[in-house]
Amino acid sequence: MSDENPGPAGLPEYAERVLEVAERIPPGRVMTYGDIAEWLEEGGPRQVGRAMSLYGRAVPWWRVVRSDGVLLPGAEQRALAHYRAEGTPLRDSAAGPRLDMRRARWDGSDGGGGRLHD
DNA sequence: ATAATGACGTCGG
DNA sequence: TCCGACGCCATTA
């Protein structure tokens, strides 16, 4: 049987962990698919992306982004509105606004002294 | 079992 | 900066 091991919330355990991290990302900051995978020490960027596409609608999905800072295809306007509202660092490129990963990327550590950037 | 697909990532040109 | 080729890995066809 194609078992998915649904957790208490009714979704696969792995997806549940991904969503848990996504909810942890502070406003104005973002995390990449790859970073979340490493942080979980399980799966890879594509698995995180899959989990988000299937179950991520209930969490701040706009804070989970690609490493190159490209806005989520198909939801660019929605994402942009959130970024502006949260003050997420953006960058202007010829093709349009992109995330300024250098400043927006969050490593998973809380602000309490554990910041590695900036 | 093999091939194609996807909310990815890195590298070379 | 932009674009294509490859690598990666679970799911689908």
In strand C, which positions have an atom below 7 A from any protein CB? 1-3, 7-12
A20-44 pLDDT tens trace: 999 999 999 999 999 999 999 999 9
Residues 6+ apart with CB under 8 A from A80: A71, A90, A97
In strand B, which positions have an atom below 7 A from any protein CB? 6-10
- Domain residue limits, chain A: 13-104
Asked: is A13-104 a CATH 2.60.40.10 domain? The reply is no
Beta strands A31-32 and A64-65: pairing type? Answer: parallel
CA gap A90, A80 in Å, rounded: 9
Nucleotide nearest to A96 (CA to C1'): C1
Q: Which of A8-12, A28-32, A70-74, A93-97 has the lowest mean pLDDT?
A: A8-12
Nucleotide nearest to A45 (CA to C1'): B8
Indicate if CB(A61) is under 7 A from strand B. yes
**φ, ψ (nearest 5 deg) of residue A113:** 80, -10
What's the pTM? 0.90
